[in-house]
Structure 1
Amino acid sequence: MIKSFENYLVYEKRYSPHTILSYKNDIQQFSEYIEKVYNIYNLLEVDHYMIRSWLVDLMQKKMTTKTINRKFSTLRTFFLFLKRENKIKTNPTKKVIAPKIGKRLPSIIQKKEINDLLGNTWFSNNFFGVRDKTIIVILYNTGMRRAELINLKDNDFD
Structure 2
Amino acid sequence: MLVTSFLEYLEFEKKYSKHTIMAYENDLIAFKEFCIENYEEDDLTSIHYREIRNWIVDLVNGGVSNRSVNRKVSSLKSFYNFLQKIEEIDINPLAKHKSLKVQKKNQFTFYGVGNK
Match of 1:44 in 2: 45
Match of 1:62 in 2: 63
Q: RCO greater where, 1 or 2, for CA within 8 Å and sep 6 or more?
A: 2
Match of 1:108 in 2: 110
More helix by share: 1
Which structure 1 residue ranges, 5 or more long, are not aligned? Answer: 112-158
CA contact (8 A) 1:34 1:41 kept: yes
Identity %: 34
Residue 41 of structure 1 and its aligned partner are, at CA, apart by 1.3
Which residue identity is paired with 2:14? Answer: K
Residue 36 of structure 1 and its aligned partner are, at CA, apart by 0.7
Which residue identity is paired with 2:74? Answer: S
Q: Does 1:84 align with 2:105?
A: no
Q: Does 1:72 align with 2:73?
A: yes
CA distance in 1 between partners of 2:95 and 2:28 (Å): 17
Q: Point out the structure with max Rg over C-alpha.
A: 1
| CA offset digits 1:90-137 (Å, max 9, x no partner) | 0001132221111245522215xxxxxxxxxxxxxxxxxxxxxxxxxx
CA distance in 1 between partners of 2:6 and 2:74 (Å): 14
Which structure 2 residue ranges, 5 or more long, are not aligned? Answer: none
CA distance in 1 between partners of 2:105 and 2:30 (Å): 29
The total of aligned residue pairs comes to 111
| CA offset digits 1:41-89 (Å, max 9, x no partner) | 1001111111111111100011111111110000010000000000001
What TM-score, normalized to structure 2?
0.90
CA RMSD of aligned residues (A): 1.2
Matching of residues 1-158 of structure 1 within 5 Å: 1-105=2-106, 106-110=108-112
Moved over 3 A (4+): none
